[in-house]
């Protein structure tokens, strides 16, 4: 019996130590992800350590910080409260909790936490902001009870992702959306890109398409475009591909010009600060001034609004801060100058209802006056990116809880111009989720390399589970197709086919795209998701990796066997060859610079042969693929003989690539 008790004790001790070690590893992984700005991944690791009761208070606090730094204040508030309950003594926790409570409309609770924060030892960074928030509270409470005669309606392109920064160009709505294939590790959403869609009515928008293939990086966020009045010059923000030296995301401003119907390759503009976050640009009406937001040194607080003059040669002058009348200790973003010269912008530093609110700045008698735009343009959520069609109507974006997704685009119109505030009758909404339904649809556009729609393309949608074709449609003259009914929680493949083009398969999943019923305000709801498919013509010499989103396959040092990760990519090549029987491919293999030139030539040939044999084993004829070794003659980086490189850098050279040798 004693031996049994001892065994049980030892087993329980081992299990306990194993659990502690696992929680410790999760916490450390979370810290690393947090430091790298990969907040969505950090949250998952901290939740593991918290559920194992390891560093409960610290884990909850870092989850809250991850939500806050990825702009999800409602979720942040829940975990700040959990951290306080668990005994967290983080210095600024009550300040951040107060901001989260303000975003929930809990203004009095927010005030209490700000008072507690100031009664302690507030940090220099947030002390003045906390004092300002308390001073603004009476004004905020007054704003919460004032509603304008403006009515708002959601625009039809909204999805469960993000759509924002709308702007009208040539009867098209240009906007920013999270619709790329790769996921941004900061917030767990797809990377942002630029899209355009025809505007059929103020709220009904046609099928969105990619704005330009020249302005598209699949592993970067791109958005918030600004155009000159003639629509031929655009400045936009691109970033989040790495980190500054101070660990802030690298977001910069780029310029592109329209020549013969094609947008030029973007170039970094001189006014962008390499040490700062620069974004949300906007041109003045005459195109001679660029307004933008930046956290560069010397500002008034977080993000400030700046302006830079543009000379006749298109050169940018120095950036000038727009002053303390507009900029605060908080963030000011998304400037826009209307046709009548009014400056609209978003801020969380002026008196507001919570998150970013919309404001209008005008100059009267030589003084700048900033006016809150009231309800319903503003809410306790983030409201931003306003563009005015005229003095009574326009568009803006918001992440308010009545929307479909993260950020949504809304159309607004003043029903009684000249009048300011009205009585606020209660809004009746359907609150019982059991009485709500939603249908999902898929639509899209098929375009060529010039971003022109391709007509008469056969589009078949396959159910990935059954591999059965559910529906076949053909694209219209503008390349658009849809709407095709899809189901929540399922994954699909779109197969596009037209003579003279590659047959292409495009994945689409509804997993994670379901809209919670409790977020819906109507009993019956429809939502449409959009895809953009680019088709290319088979040409000799063309690299197919980028066309089909295929990564080069990699090899271990001095090895030629096919790794598990490489087999995934080779299976895609097999599918391409099966779908396109008229092409012949070269599999070109390479080595890093280590070892002799002669040895590396032979090693690369063995690698190419291994890849070919793998493809043949899947049923592809040997006559359709050629193995060619290039040795170390085509390095993709600096890692030549005698240059010190990391193993990861050498790995990039040990690869096989794929190009078209023949088209029948």
Return d(Cα 568, Cα 590) in angstroms, integer: 19
Is 553-663 in the same CATH topology as 147-419? no
> Which residue, among 630, 510, 493, 627, has the nearest Cα to 548 in the 3D structure?
493
Backbone region of residue 500 per phi and psi (left: phi > 0; alpha: psi in -120 to 50; beta: other values)? left
Q: Which residues contact 61 (CB under 8 A, 6 or more apart)?
A: 79, 80, 83, 88, 90, 93
Residue among 652, 541, 635, 656 nearest 588 (CA): 656
In the chain, where the domains are located = 147-419, 433-534, 553-663
Residue 26 CB coordination number (10 Å): 22
Three-state secondary structure call for residue 434: helix
* pLDDT on residue 246: 44
The owner of tokens 């600024």 is 92
Rounded to an integer, what distance in angstroms lies between the CA atom of residue 302 and that of residue 292?
Answer: 14
H/E segment holding residue 118: helix 107-119
Architecture category of domain 553-663 in CATH: 2-Layer Sandwich (3.30)
As a CATH number, domain 433-534 is 2.60.40.10
Write out residues in the chain with pLDDT < 50, as ranges: 1, 4, 10-11, 14-17, 242, 244-248, 423-431
β-pairing verdict for 421-422 and 583-589: unpaired
Rounded Cα distance between 490 and 464, Å, is 8
| For the chain, the helix, strand and coil percentages under 3-state DSSP, each to the nearest 5 | 25, 30, 40
Count Cβ neighbours within 10 Å for each residue of 430-455 and write b for 16 or more, e otherwise: eeeeeebebebebbbbbbeeebebbe
Compute the distance between CA of residue 280 and CA of residue 302 in angstroms, rounded to an integer: 14
Per DSSP (E only), the strands in 81-140 are none
pLDDT at 14: 46
Q: What is the SS3 assignment for 653?
A: coil
Q: Domain 147-419: which topology?
A: Tachylectin-2; Chain A (2.115.10)
Residues ≥6 apart with Cβ < 8 Å to 325: 361, 367, 368, 370
Rounded to whole angstroms, the Cα distance separating 593 from 396 reads: 54
| Six token digits for residue 461 | 């949608």
pLDDT at 356: 92
Asked if 118 contacts 133 with a C-beta cutoff of 8 angstroms, the reply is no
10 Å CB burial of residue 373 (0-12, 13-18, 19+) is: buried
Token representation of residue 526:
């429809």
Return d(Cα 222, Cα 657) in angstroms, integer: 28
**Which letter does DSSP use for residue 519 in this model?**
G
Q: 410: closest CA among 163, 577, 238, 229? A: 163
Cα 241 to the center of its chain, rounded Å: 12
Q: Do the Cβ atoms of 68 and 37 come closer than 8 Å?
A: no
Q: How far apart are the first and last CA of the chain?
A: 80
d(CA 289, CA 284): 5
CA distance 374 to 413: 13
Residues 293-345 have pLDDT tens digits of: 999 988 887 899 999 999 988 899 999 999 989 998 889 999 999 988 899 99
């Amino acid at each position: 019996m004693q031996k049994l008790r001892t065994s049980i004790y030892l087993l329980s001790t081992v299990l306990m130590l194993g659990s502690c070690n696992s929680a410790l590893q999760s916490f450390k992984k979370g810290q690393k992800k947090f430091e790298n700005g990969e907040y969505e991944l950090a949250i998952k690791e901290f939740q593991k350590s918290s559920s194992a009761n390891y560093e409960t208070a610290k884990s909850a606090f870092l989850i809250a910080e991850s939500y806050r730094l990825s702009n999800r204040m409602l979720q942040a508030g829940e975990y700040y409260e959990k951290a306080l309950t668990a005994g967290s003594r983080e210095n600024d926790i009550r300040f951040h909790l107060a901001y989260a409570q303000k975003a929930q409309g809990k203004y009095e609770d927010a005030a209490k936490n700000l008072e507690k924060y100031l009664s302690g030892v507030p940090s220099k960074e947030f002390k003045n902001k906390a004092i300002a928030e308390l001073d603004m509270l009476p004004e905020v409470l007054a704003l919460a009870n004032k509603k304008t005669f403006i009515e708002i309606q959601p625009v039809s392109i909204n999805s469960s992702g993000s759509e924002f920064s709308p702007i009208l160009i040539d009867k098209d709505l240009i906007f920013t959306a999270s619709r790329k294939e790769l996921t941004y590790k900061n917030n767990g959403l797809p990377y942002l890109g630029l899209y355009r869609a025809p505007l059929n009515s103020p709220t009904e928008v046609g099928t969105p398409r990619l704005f330009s293939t020249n302005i598209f990086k699949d592993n970067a966020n791109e958005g918030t475009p600004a155009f000159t009045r003639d629509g031929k010059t655009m400045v936009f923000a691109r970033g989040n591909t790495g980190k500054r030296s101070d660990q802030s995301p690298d977001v910069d401003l780029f310029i592109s010009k329209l020549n013969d119907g094609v947008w030029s390759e973007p170039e970094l503009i001189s006014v962008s600060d390499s040490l700062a976050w620069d974004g949300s640009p906007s041109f003045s009406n005459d195109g001679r001034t660029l307004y933008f937001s930046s956290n560069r040194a010397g500002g008034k607080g977080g993000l400030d609004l700046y302006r830079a003059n543009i000379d006749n040669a298109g050169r940018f002058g120095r950036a000038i801060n727009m002053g303390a009348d507009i900029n605060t200790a908080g963030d000011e973003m998304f400037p826009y100058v209307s046709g009548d010269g009014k400056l609209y912008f978003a801020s969380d530093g002026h008196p507001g209802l919570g998150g970013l609110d919309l404001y209008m700045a005008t100059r009267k008698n030589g003084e700048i006056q900033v006016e809150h735009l009231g309800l319903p343009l503003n809410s306790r959520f983030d409201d931003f990116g306003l563009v005015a069609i005229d003095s009574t109507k326009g568009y803006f974006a918001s992440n308010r809880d009545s929307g479909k997704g993260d950020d949504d685009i809304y159309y607004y119109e003043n029903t009684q111009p000249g009048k300011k505030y009205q009585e606020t009758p209660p809004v009746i909404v359907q609150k019982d989720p059991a009485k709500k339904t939603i249908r999902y649809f898929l639509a899209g556009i098929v375009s060529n390399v010039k971003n022109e729609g391709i007509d008469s393309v056969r589009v078949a949608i396959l159910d990935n589970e059954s591999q059965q074709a559910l529906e076949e449609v053909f694209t219209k003259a503008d390349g658009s197709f849809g709407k095709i009914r899809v189901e929540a929680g399922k994954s699909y493949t779109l197969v596009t086919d037209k003579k003279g083009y590659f047959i292409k398969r495009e994945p689409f999943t509804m997993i994670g795209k379901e809209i919670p019923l409790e977020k819906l305000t109507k009993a019956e709801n429809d939502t449409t998701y959009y895809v953009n498919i680019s088709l290319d013509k088979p040409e000799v010499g063309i690299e197919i990796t980028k066309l089909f989103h295929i990564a080069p396959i990699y090899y271990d040092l001095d090895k030629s066997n096919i790794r598990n990760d490489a087999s995934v990519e080779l299976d895609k090549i097999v599918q391409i060859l099966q779908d396109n029987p008229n092409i012949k491919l070269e599999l070109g293999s390479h080595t890093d610079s280590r070892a002799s030139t002669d040895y590396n030539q032979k090693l690369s040939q063995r690698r190419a042969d291994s890849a070919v044999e793998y493809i043949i084993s899947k049923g592809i004829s040997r006559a359709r693929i050629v193995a060619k070794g290039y040795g170390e003659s085509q390095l993709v980086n600096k890692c030549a003989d005698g240059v010190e490189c990391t193993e990861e850098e050498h790995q990039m050279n040990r690869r096989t690539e794929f190009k078209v040798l023949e088209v029948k």
